[in-house]
Structure 1
């Protein structure tokens, strides 16, 4: 019974999980959380935070420890004059590490310099006291974090733009689908009426053929549109970050997206407020300046404090190496100053490159500012033209609908021709298609103006 109950409810639950209904605002929020580009930009921010921590860690104490064990297969030897060797009391004597006594020259003594087994435990501590590159690098890491924040903002703006355009594309295709379906119904009704009139002797075979050709053409267009709708939905899912197997349903219609006169006027009168591209370039200039400072401070000496503590042991027999009474300690501490003297003018050439790079970035910033102004002007002109075209197409749709209705009445009353009715139907379909295309162009132009002004959200 439990298994049957699960099988009964499972398909419905799976379908519910795989169907997503979204408004435009919900689509944007969903994309900002699930779009691959947006997620990668968020991950870059996390990486930059790690970079700051990594740079900061270089200024903290650096502690390391080493445990070492050595078996001297051939212990190092110390060569002394023969008198010194006799005084010390060495010189071969069958030591496995040194040469036999009878093989030694008479004027020298060869003494083993190490035991068979050695071991040591060493701990080292270093603390940076002054390093100009460290402080510059720390500031550069913070600047990089700010740059990645702007990169994330830029990625989100691109995602919003792409989602809006993809959403509008699906809406236009859905509206065109509804228009073509209405057109097919009109043509089917007209075909049936004309066929009845032909059978009654009030119409010609040519009238039926003319309508049939128009009907077939619209049917073919409908099939192509179904494929276009599927492709546009898949593109929208790609922008949203929705898995391929999920189904997306749009909760809004294209008519709800109509532009308000006040909103259009405010856009056309709006000024460029904040473009993230300029912020990105400013941070890149700041990073290049910090790189210049980093190369300059390398002329300054670096100061480091260090200390080492070591415990060593040794024995001729491995069993005795780690006995407690064989461990001996040594330690030392000091301050190290590294003074750069001459590097073949490497730093000088690097500084020259930094200065040129800064000039390049400044030129790029100036050119980008000019391009943004042109982009804003052009997008406003495109929006104005799109609004005018939308008004014209709206009027054309109303006129075409009026013409079709009057032509249909005339045809039904026997004072109009079949050819006129087919032409009026084709003109109505074209006017309706042109209207929604113009509405799409106006909505896209609005998005481009908002982006050019830095207010897209």
Structure 2
């Protein structure tokens, strides 16, 4: 009766071990692992690769057909969501968030279950003494559960957690820096495509004007009031305008292909650009002194935050390396059970039996000698800390220089916007006067063609100045680490 009872207990124990085994398997399957997040590390990971740039949308990073015309907001959001660099930075944040979970799990006990269920066939053949020989077949199981809980380790786990948290902060800062860079790149390419579209429209308009001038010169030559040289000069200007229009078409297609590639689309994807707006007034978003702007950038820029976080991680890693060479105190426990048959001696029959073993206590591990490797590991960690400190200084210097250059470029473009507005107005008036004078027969064809070319150049300079100014604004914001979703809503600027 006792044997049957123990056998029932053993079977229940085996069932428990099997349940634990299946739970262990399920905990590492892809779908279940995503659902089990006791330490809520997923809260440190953005919903999408675009982070806050797309999280305010109802369905972030989900796109249909391209807008026609394409606006900057869609171009940037597509690029931030689909660009491999932003997705890689997002994945790195996931990696470091999981590493934080691993570091936190070191504070919990480790439980290990071991289960064996085997068919045992034991044969003992004693020569000359057949009565002592035996042959037994049995199904033998054994199971055990052991626990190990580190109670004290001189700060090793704390340093490991600090290291993983610092690396997570660095990964998030790197993601922000990547988003800023991709944002700036696609915005620059967007404005370049917009400028190319504007230049093509201007080239087509210039070709039409050149054709009108050629027609007027031909009519005057036909009526004998102008020399044939007038017609030839006008025809030459018309041919040059046709050549420029064809080149502008090629430049536009190249710019559109670059913009499509930024959005991770095929370069031959049809893209329609809005017209470049005229009559804009440069705003005063960046009115602070350049010294204060550099100081601000060196404080908040994601590249600085990433370098600072990596320095913190290196310091924590050094502390962890030192702690690994110190003693640690653990609580240990184990319980095991088996049904190994028992025998009274050689040649005696085996009897069903149940064996149990358990213990609980504390364990002190003291590293005594590691072949001097600990000394060099600590030196390596110290050197890594020095490297990260120098990297932080280098990042500060580079950010300051980038802000300085971008600020000067913006100031130049602000002046260019005003200068080209005046230049365009003067060139337009000069062309109208020259055209009327030539129509009245008091002006020369050279005067008309010169004014025509000056007007075309002024219009091109105006378009380029506007797009350069828009791009320079975003470039400075990116160099300062201040680009955000609000900058996508600054495309439409009120006229003068």
Report the Cα distance in structure 1 between the residues aligned to 2:133 and 2:248, rounded to whole angstroms.
96
Alignment of 1:214-363 (within 5 A): 214-241=237-264, 247-251=270-274, 253-255=276-278, 258-260=281-283, 262-263=284-285, 265-266=287-288, 271-272=293-294, 273=296, 274-314=300-340, 325-363=352-390
**Once the two structures are superposed, what CA deviation does each residue of 1:291-346 show, in whole Å capped at 9, x if it has no partner?**
11011112321222232222323469xxxxxx995443333333322111111221
**Once the two structures are superposed, what CA deviation does each residue of 1:156-192 show, in whole Å capped at 9, x if it has no partner?**
2112211221221111111111111110111122222
- Aligned-pair CA distance for 1:440: 3.0
Matched with 1:46 is 94
| Contact 2:198 2:275 survives alignment (8 Å) | no
- Aligned-pair CA distance for 1:141: 1.8
* Structure 1 unmatched runs, 5+: 1-15, 76-95, 103-109, 317-322
Q: 2:166 aligns with which of 133, 139, 143?
A: 143
Go from structure 1 to structure 2 and tell me whether the alpha carbon gap of 1:205 and 1:350 turns closer, same or farther (over 3 Å shift): same
Matched with 1:178 is 201
Q: Does 1:19 align with 2:59?
A: no
Matched with 1:415 is 442
| SS of the residue 1:308 aligns to | strand
Matched with 1:68 is 116
Go from structure 1 to structure 2 and tell me whether the alpha carbon gap of 1:193 and 1:269 turns closer, same or farther (over 3 Å shift): farther
- Range moving further from structure 2, 340-349 or 251-260: 251-260
Q: Does 1:168 align with 2:191?
A: yes
Report the Cα distance in structure 1 between the residues aligned to 2:289 and 2:466, rounded to whole angstroms.
17
Q: Does 1:401 align with 2:428?
A: yes
Matched with 1:133 is 156
| Contact 1:311 1:330 survives alignment (8 Å) | yes
**Once the two structures are superposed, what CA deviation does each residue of 1:90-115 show, in whole Å capped at 9, x if it has no partner?**
xxxxxx4456348xxxxxxx999997
| SS of the residue 2:213 aligns to | helix
| Contact 1:175 1:254 survives alignment (8 Å) | no
Q: 1:198 aligns with which of 221, 229, 237?
A: 221
**Once the two structures are superposed, what CA deviation does each residue of 1:344-380 show, in whole Å capped at 9, x if it has no partner?**
2211112122222222322232233233333333332
What root-mean-square deviation, in Å, do the aligned CA atoms of Structure 1 and Structure 2 show? Answer: 3.3
| Contact 2:424 2:462 survives alignment (8 Å) | yes
Matched with 2:234 is 211
Go from structure 1 to structure 2 and tell me whether the alpha carbon gap of 1:424 and 1:324 turns closer, same or farther (over 3 Å shift): farther
Q: Does 1:392 align with 2:454?
A: no
Q: Which structure has the larger Rg over C-alpha atoms?
A: 1
Count the aligned residue pairs: 408
TM-score (norm 2): 0.73
| Contact 1:61 1:128 survives alignment (8 Å) | yes
| Contact 2:257 2:269 survives alignment (8 Å) | no
* Structure 2 unmatched runs, 5+: 1-62, 343-349, 485-496
TM-score (norm 1): 0.78
| Contact 1:194 1:208 survives alignment (8 Å) | yes
